[in-house]
Homo-oligomer: A and B are copies of this chain.
Amino acid sequence: VELRDLRALATVVRSGSFTAAALELGYTQSAVSQQVAALEREVGQRLLERRPVRPTPAGLRLAEHAGRILLRVDVVRSELTRMKDTGQELRVDACPLAVPDALATALRELRRDRPSLHVTVRSTGAGSAVNRLATGATDVAVIDGITAPETPLAPTEPGLFSATGLTEEPLAVALPEDHPLAGRPWLDLSMLADAPWMALPELATESAMPAARSAVTYEGNDVATVLHLVAAGHGTALLPAPVSLRARGVVAVPVRHPPLVHRTEVLTLRSADPPVTTLVEALRIRARPM
């Protein structure tokens, strides 16, 4: 078993196509086909059903492990390249809803100590944070999501990443002013089970959200846009309470049940560094050396 073959399998499973995987990996279809065939020969069982391309149970399992393995390879690469860099640079990924004020404050404190440091902040979705950290595309990610209280987001590969909780805020449902439930002091999500739903896709992690989709689908993570859509009656949205309060034509009703919060976390590569507890600390450590 070699990494090249695992990469091939994982890519095919993810993309659902030999051709697409080959394109992504910079091989010909033929090569990818041979790599997968070699893997199947080695493990002695079929890993993919063809036409349509779909993993067998064994193939799915192997692809999952392969993903973890390749993620770790990315991580160690970026760790090693970091080791020889001088490090007068710090790159931060930040989700738009994730404590921009706290980040700004922390950066000011950091820059006071180290004026020569060059800092890059980039807005991203929480989904790509893990991969961007692993490949070394960024140093620190500030992500957010909806989860149960005290429950970390991103259960991805413990040991590779260090995730530290920053804040947890209550949730509210944004409703149009004329919605029948708009006057209530609180509500349970089950009351909205059949309502047209229009969450920020980046926020809605694995937490069980109502399955019903709005006729208007929103893609992106701009809160203002979503609130305007809600005000116009296209659907309802689940948002951190402080944010959803500020909008005209929209009423924010706190969510009582299930117990969910809007949680923000700092995510960094664990590396061999000491554990991190605050945002400033995370930034400072990743900005080594002096």
Contact = CB atoms under 8 A, between A and B. Distances in A.
Complex copy number for this chain: 2
A58 interface: yes
Contact of A84 (B44, B61, B75, B76): B44
Interface string A2-33: 11100000000000000000000000000000
A80 B68 contact: no
Given A61-B80, A65-B75, 5 more contacts: A1-B77, A2-B2, A43-B77, A69-B69, A158-B159
Interface of A: 1-4, 43-45, 57-58, 61-62, 65-66, 68-69, 72-73, 75-77, 79-81, 83-84, 157-159, 272
A29 to B, nearest CB: 22
Return the 9 tightest CB-CB contacts between A and B, nearest first.
A65-B76, A158-B158, A43-B80, A2-B2, A58-B83, A2-B3, A69-B69, A58-B80, A3-B3
Nearest to A57: B83
Nearest to A158: B158
Contacts of A44: 81, 84
Nearest to A4: B2
